[in-house]
Amino acid sequence: MDYRPPQDPLDILHHDHEILLVNKPSGLLSVPGKGDHLSDCLIARVQEAFPEVLLVHRLDMDTSGVMVFGLTPHAQRHLGLQFEKRQVKKTYVARVWGLMAEKQGDIDLPLIVDWPNRPLQMVDHENGKPAQTEWRVMRHGENETRVRLYPRTGRSHQLRVHMREIGHPILGDPFYAEGPARDFPRLMLHAESLRLRHPDGGKGMTFSVKAPF
């Protein structure tokens, strides 16, 4: 793959003795890919400033937005359990193809990796893992809709596949959009906010960053 990640400086949203929150740019891998040419990634850049940083979750290369890292093994475990138990509230903003007729809705379509075409995912009602997404329309544009997406599960490519399956692929998606819907400078998907409990004391905290599109 032709990998040319953006060279923006680190955008740190929050930093304390247990956790670090960063705004990941679109086009940068969260973790290294296979091969030296895919070694530049967000965690490697963060490690230069915070050598003790530990991975908790990831975002797709093409998605931008809020990512949390642990700075201690305790924080990594604590946050990892919150993600596993679906206690972390995630909000995304997306621009999708077409005008969505309803104001809000739920998508419940099980997903599985499409092995011959991996890393693509696909809907599989027999073997797929449960995947649920809630969506709400923010506003309509010219043959596009801006939506907020609330994933209840954290499957790979979940939002991208779910939106395509209901006929509204995310604009600029190199995997799941076709024709004019694909012809955008980036994937129009942004992890806008994370609500989590702080590993030291359990206080609920929300970290947000506005979509750059």
Cite the active site residues.
Answer: 60
- The dihedrals phi and psi of 95, each to the nearest 5 degrees, come to -105, 125
* 3-class state of residue 47 by DSSP: helix
Q: Could you tell me which of 79, 83, 105 has the C-alpha nearest to residue 166?
A: 105
Please give the C-alpha separations between residue 74 and each of 18, 69, 81, 137, in angstroms, as whole numbers.
8, 12, 11, 38
Dihedral angle, C-alpha 135, 139, 141, 146, nearest 10 °: -30
Spell out the long-range contacts of 85-89 with Cβ–Cβ below 8 A and sequence spacing 24 or more: 86/152, 86/153, 86/154, 87/196, 87/197, 88/194, 88/195, 88/196, 89/150, 89/193, 89/194, 89/195, 89/196, 89/206
Query: 14 has which bridge partners?
Result: 21
Query: 67 has which bridge partners?
Result: 22
Query: 139 has which bridge partners?
Result: 146
